[in-house]
């Protein structure tokens, strides 16, 4: 498997576009389309929030009930959440317009929205935008990059990735793009992520591969503990790689899962590291946990601790806050067994041994904590299970961005 340049247009037969439809101010790109030349099997995982945005309800139906999917239409600026029956009507109308423009059934069109909750979609702009997108579709890297740019809200950079692997003697490409910066604490999925592949695979195994992988990727990131109403990860596979269809959990399936995992983990980390106001990616690795679930809970408890995140921003090796966050996670353990390290490009330093300070050099710790990617490692010495979670530091700018988001 190898990393290649590009994004959602990298796999065979996938086209994309990103345009400005006038939903956001100042001519910023705010609509994107991903289109496959041939029908795709589709999988999806969605927010567990009781309050589900209209597009989440629509996409759930398409993924689980339609014969196939062939396009995704995304808008940023307005989330189409808490908009009642009218909001769901707007999804249907968007899909219908896109279906007509592309010559495919409306129920083969997935839709996604991100932005302010409670506001209604400006349907005249959306309709016009869908037609512009259809005309702008392209199969080159640039087209994929424009789509990745158009789905951004408070993101500071577009997020895309592509990898190649070989399955049954054929080159298979898996690629994706995502957006997300605030309201990031996915539970089953994250804000918006679109993964595409030219692999040939059965519907049930595509869904299984996705559902299994989010547990260790998107469900392990957190920017602020707020699980959005719109979280969606969509995965489309069009089969154009020409491999023999994957219908069993054997070698081919594992090769696909491995490529999928790289794409999903990398996109997850891109979201965590670009958290609203963040100056660094904060990674938490737990080892020696009694169960996998305990390891995940411990890792997420540390990565979501406001006090720990503020300390990381201050480059302060305040390990007491890490031990404290492990302690209130709900997992039972012996604090007097725990070892803690900080690690980054600048080095690795043992801070705590058996629950008390090692008497480490604060200066060296600050140096390690001053990098753009910082890892805290906790060995619970109570088993063999591990887990990793990703988040970011808590900064003045997170508050600034969110105090006046709607202004």
In a 3-state reduction of DSSP, which class is residue 330? coil
Report yes or no: 315 and 377 within 8 Å, Cβ to Cβ: no
- Binding residues among 8-67 for its own copies as defined by CB under 8 A: 48-52
Give the tokens for residue 18.
């990103």
CA 250 – CA 245 distance, rounded (Å): 12
Report yes or no: 51 and 229 within 8 Å, Cβ to Cβ: yes
Clarify whether 190 is annotated catalytic: yes
CA 180 – CA 177 distance, rounded (Å): 11
The CB-of-377 to its own copies minimum distance in angstroms stands at 17
The single residue among 71, 241, 326, 392 that binds its own copies, judged by CB under 8 A, is 326
Which residue, 369, 388, 378, is CA-closest to 283? 388
* Closer residue to its own copies, CB minimum distance, 70 or 344: 344
Which residue, 36, 81, 34, is CA-closest to 55? 81
CA 237 – CA 15 distance, rounded (Å): 13
The CB-of-159 to its own copies minimum distance in angstroms stands at 21
The single residue among 26, 27, 135, 396 that binds its own copies, judged by CB under 8 A, is 396
The single residue among 114, 217, 219, 227 that binds its own copies, judged by CB under 8 A, is 227
182 scored as a contact of its own copies (CB under 8 A): yes
Of 190, 308, 375, 388, which residue is the catalytic one? 190
* Closer residue to its own copies, CB minimum distance, 115 or 273: 115
CA 58 – CA 72 distance, rounded (Å): 12
Q: Is the dihedral of CA 39, 268, 209, 55 positive or negative?
A: negative
The single residue among 32, 81, 246, 349 that binds its own copies, judged by CB under 8 A, is 81
The single residue among 253, 256, 282, 319 that binds its own copies, judged by CB under 8 A, is 319
* Closer residue to its own copies, CB minimum distance, 229 or 243: 229
Contact positions toward its own copies, by CB under 8 A? 48-52, 79, 81-84, 116-118, 182-183, 185, 187, 224-229, 304-307, 310-311, 313-314, 316, 318-321, 323-329, 331-333, 335-336, 352, 354-357, 394-396, 398-407
Indicate which residues carry an active-site annotation.
190
């Amino acid at each position: 498997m190898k990393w290649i340049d590009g994004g959602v247009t990298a796999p065979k037969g996938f086209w994309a576009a990103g345009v400005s439809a006038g939903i956001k101010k100042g001519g910023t790109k705010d609509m994107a389309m991903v289109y496959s030349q041939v029908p795709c099997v589709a999988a999806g995982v969605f927010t567990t929030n009781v309050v589900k945005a209209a597009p989440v309800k629509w996409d759930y139906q398409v993924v689980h009930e339609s014969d196939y999917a062939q396009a995704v239409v995304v808008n940023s600026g307005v989330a189409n959440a808490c908009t009642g029956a009218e909001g769901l009507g707007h999804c249907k109308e968007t899909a219908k317009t896109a279906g007509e423009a592309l010559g495919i059934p409306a129920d083969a069109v997935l839709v996604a929205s991100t932005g302010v909750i409670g506001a209604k979609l400006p349907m005249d702009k959306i309709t016009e935008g869908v037609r512009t997108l259809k005309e702008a579709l392209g199969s080159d890297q640039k087209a994929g990059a424009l789509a990745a740019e158009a789905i951004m809200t408070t993101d500071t950079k577009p997020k895309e990735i592509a990898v190649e692997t070989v399955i049954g003697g054929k080159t298979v490409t898996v690629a994706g793009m995502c957006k997300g910066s605030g309201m990031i604490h996915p539970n089953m999925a994250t804000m918006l992520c679109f993964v595409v592949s030219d692999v040939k695979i059965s519907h049930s195994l595509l869904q299984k591969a996705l559902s299994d992988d989010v547990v260790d990727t998107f469900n392990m990131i957190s920017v602020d503990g707020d699980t959005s109403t719109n979280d969606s990860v969509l995965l489309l596979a069009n089969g154009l790689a020409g491999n023999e269809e994957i219908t069993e959990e054997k070698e081919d399936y594992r090769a696909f899962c491995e490529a999928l995992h790289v794409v999903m983990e990398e996109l997850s980390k891109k979201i965590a590291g670009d958290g609203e106001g963040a100056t660094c990616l904060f990674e938490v690795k737990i080892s020696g946990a009694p169960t996998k679930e305990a390891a995940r809970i411990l890792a997420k408890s540390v990565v979501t601790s406001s006090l720990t995140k503020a300390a990381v921003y201050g480059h302060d090796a305040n390990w007491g806050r890490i031990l404290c966050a492990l302690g209130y996670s709900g997992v039972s353990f012996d604090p007097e067994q725990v070892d803690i390290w900080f690690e980054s490009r600048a080095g690795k330093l043992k801070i705590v041994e058996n629950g008390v300070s090692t008497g480490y050099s604060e200066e060296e710790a600050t140096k390690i904590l001053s990098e753009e990617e910082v890892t805290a490692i906790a060995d619970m010495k109570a088993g063999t299970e591990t887990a990793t979670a990703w988040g970011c530091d808590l900064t003045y700018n997170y508050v600034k961005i969110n105090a006046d988001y709607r202004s």
